[in-house]
Amino acid sequence: MMDWTDRHCRFFHRQLTRRALLYTEMVVADAVIHGARERLLGFDDAEHPVALQLGGSDPAKLAEAARIGEAFGYDEINLNVGCPSDRVQSGTFGACLMKTPALVAECVGAMKASVTIPVTVKCRIGVDDQDPEPALDALADGVLAAGANALWVHARKAWLEGLSPKENREIPPLDYPRVHRLKARKPDEFIGINGGIQSLAEASAHLSHVDGVMLGRAAYHTPGILTGVDAAFYGEAAAAFDYPALIDAMAGYAARHIERGGRLGHITRHMVGLFHGLPGARRFRQILSTDANKPGAGPQVLKSAFAAIDLAAAEAEAA
Ligand SMILES: Cc1cc2nc3c(=O)[nH]c(=O)nc-3n(C[C@H](O)[C@H](O)[C@H](O)COP(=O)(O)O)c2cc1C
């Protein structure tokens, strides 16, 4: 998610779940090819498994960007066919590609030919006045025939005119049954669902219909829910989450980032929702939103914020 799932966010989320696949922000293929690669693509080894999401519509450029992503060590390349923002539309990226499924299939084919890691696609159920029945089928048929290893579907349309990107994540109605029907039609392919899923219980219910569930805003705003993922979905033993170890890991990571010239706030801005709903959460959020952004703030600020949390309550909640 652009401006949210940067490397610091992903490192943090990786402390909460060892197994869930994490996604980068969308990076446009041209930027990967011509831009400052280490800044755009660099990530910490601890983040694996992590997928690089690309934006673009030129098969040759996407193939080249995918190759660069694979060489950087990403575990998967994902193509964005869902983002409705104006900036992106002007470059023919994102959701407007729902109207040109043959071109998307060509992009996937070119990317598949240039890498050995999985190539996946994230799309909408349709755009504008498209009928989601044929529109999603056409997109899915094309990319899966071209070798896409998974199709993730944000279960609502995008309206390319008149709605902001934020409204396009809220106003077009969710249509989960449309995605479930796609899976029923494609039983042998990996079909994942996304959009409006708030909890692990909701995610679990979708897994009777589809192969995977992608959480966006719920994971970001209430990251504590990720502590239950490995036990709920990956067969790992359920255990009380070790919050002090988490804070130590994040403080160590922050110290390394600050040493390299970074700021504490780059990291802690992703952590404000960690203790959402628990005693002390407000104070934790306040400290991270103020003190952590002051010049010279060090990892100790994170530890002071954590001291505001009633840990027994947090652990009881997680159990
Ligand atoms: C701030 C923000 C940035 C996003 N950036 C991207 C992006 O770069 N690529 C993408 O495929 N989706 C992006 N999305 C959409 C989410 O991936 C997701 O499809 C959408 O929020 C619906 O899922 P959710 O209800 O679980 O959040 C973004 C969403 C938000 C809130």
Distance 193 CA to ligand 1 centre (A): 13
Q: For residue 77, which of 131, 128, 35, 113 has the smallest C-alpha distance?
A: 113
17 neighbors 50 (Cβ within 8 angstroms): no
Cβ of 95 less than 6 Å from ligand 1: no
pLDDT tens for each residue of 133-161: 999 999 999 999 999 999 999 999 999 98
215 lines ligand 1 (CB under 6 A): yes
Asked if the bond preceding 295 is cis, omega within 30° of 0, the reply is no
- pLDDT given for residue 91 in this prediction: 66
Q: How confident is the model at residue 92 (pLDDT cuts 50, 70, 90)?
A: confident
For residue 169, pLDDT over 90 is answered with yes
Distance CA 290, CA 26 (A): 29
Residue with CA nearest ligand 1 atom 23? 195
pLDDT over threshold 80, residue 190: yes
Over residues 285-289, mean pLDDT = 97
**Binding site membership of 103 for ligand 1 (Cβ less than 6 Å):** no
Q: By mean pLDDT, which of 75-79, 90-94, 129-133 is the weakest?
A: 90-94
Q: Mean pLDDT, to the nearest integer, of 295-314?
A: 92
pLDDT at 319: 59
Give the pLDDT confidence of 210-262 residue by residue, as tens digits: 999 999 999 999 999 999 999 999 999 999 999 999 999 999 999 999 999 99
* Distance from the alpha carbon of residue 2 to the mean position of ligand 1, in angstroms: 7
Confidence (pLDDT) at 313? 72
- CA 9/CA 267 separation, integer angstroms: 7
Mean pLDDT value across residues 82-102: 83
State the pLDDT at residue 200: 98
Catalytic residue among 83, 96, 107, 123: 83
- Say if ligand 1 is within 6 A of residue 154 CB: yes
Q: What is the Cα–Cα distance from 151 to 183, expressed in whole angstroms?
A: 10
Which amino acid does the sequence have at 101? P
Q: Average pLDDT of 126-132?
A: 97
Residue range 36-43: mean pLDDT, rounded: 97
pLDDT band at 317 (very low <50, low <70, confident <90, very high): low
Helix axes 299-307, 281-289, angle to 10 degrees: 160
Q: What is the CATH number of domain 243-318?
A: 1.20.120
- Considering only the C-alpha atoms of the chain, give the largest distance between any 2 of them, rounded to a whole number of Å: 56
- Comparing 20-34, 91-105, 154-168, 304-318, the range with the smallest average pLDDT is 304-318
Per domain, the residue ranges of the chain are: 7-233, 243-318
Q: Whose CA is nearest to atom 5 of ligand 1?
A: 1
Q: What share of the chain has pLDDT > 90, as a percent? A: 93
Residue nearest to atom 26 of ligand 1 (CA): 216
* 50-55 sheet: strands from edge to edge: 22-28, 50-55, 76-81, 119-124, 150-154, 191-194, 212-214
Q: For ligand 1, atom 7, which residue shows the shortest CA distance?
A: 1
Q: Which ligand 1 atom is the nearest neighbour of the CA of 25?
A: 8
CA distances in angstroms from 259 to 256, 264, 267, listed in the order given: 5, 10, 13
pLDDT score for 312 = 83
State the distance from the centre of ligand 1 to the C-alpha of 292, rounded, in angstroms. 26
Q: In this predicted structure, what is the pLDDT of residue 311? A: 83
pLDDT of residue 299: 98
pLDDT in tens, 290-303: 999 999 999 999 99
Whether residue 165 has its Cβ less than 6 Å from ligand 1? no
Q: Is 27 in the pocket of ligand 1 (CB under 6 A)?
A: no
Mean pLDDT of 91-98: 89
Q: Give the pLDDT band of residue 5 (cuts 50, 70, 90).
A: very high
Cβ–ligand 1 distance for 197 under 6 Å, the answer yes
Mean pLDDT of 63-88: 92
Q: Is the pLDDT of residue 89 over 60?
A: no
Catalytic status, residue 9: no
Decide whether any atom of ligand 1 lies within 6 Å of the 223 Cβ.
Answer: no
Average pLDDT on 159-165 reads 91
Rounded Cα–Cα distance for residues 72 and 68 (Å): 6
pLDDT at position 112, please?
98
* Inter-CA distances, 296 with 6, 157, 265, Å: 22, 45, 10
Q: Which fold has domain 7-233?
A: TIM Barrel (3.20.20)
Mean pLDDT of the chain: 96
Instruction: Report the separation in Å between the CA atom of 84 and the middle of ligand 1, taken as the mean of its atom positions.
Output: 10
3-class SS string, the chain? CCCCCCHHHHHHHHHHCCCCCEEEEEEEHHHHHHCCHHHHHCCCHHHCCEEEEEECCCHHHHHHHHHHHHHHCCCEEEEEECCCCHHHHHCCCHHHHHHCHHHHHHHHHHHHHHCCCCEEEEEECCECCCCHHHHHHHHHHHHHHCCCCEEEEECCCECCCCCCCCHHHCCCCCCHHHHHHHHHHCCCCCEEEECCCCCHHHHHHHCCCCCEEECCHHHHHCHHHHHHHHHHHCCCCCCCCCHHHHHHHHHHHHHHHHHCCCCHHHHHCCCCCCCCCCCCHHHHHHHHHCHHHCCCCCHHHHHHHHHCCCHHHHHHHHC
Which of 24, 217, 220 to mutate for ligand 1's pocket (most ligand atoms within 8 Å of CB)?
217
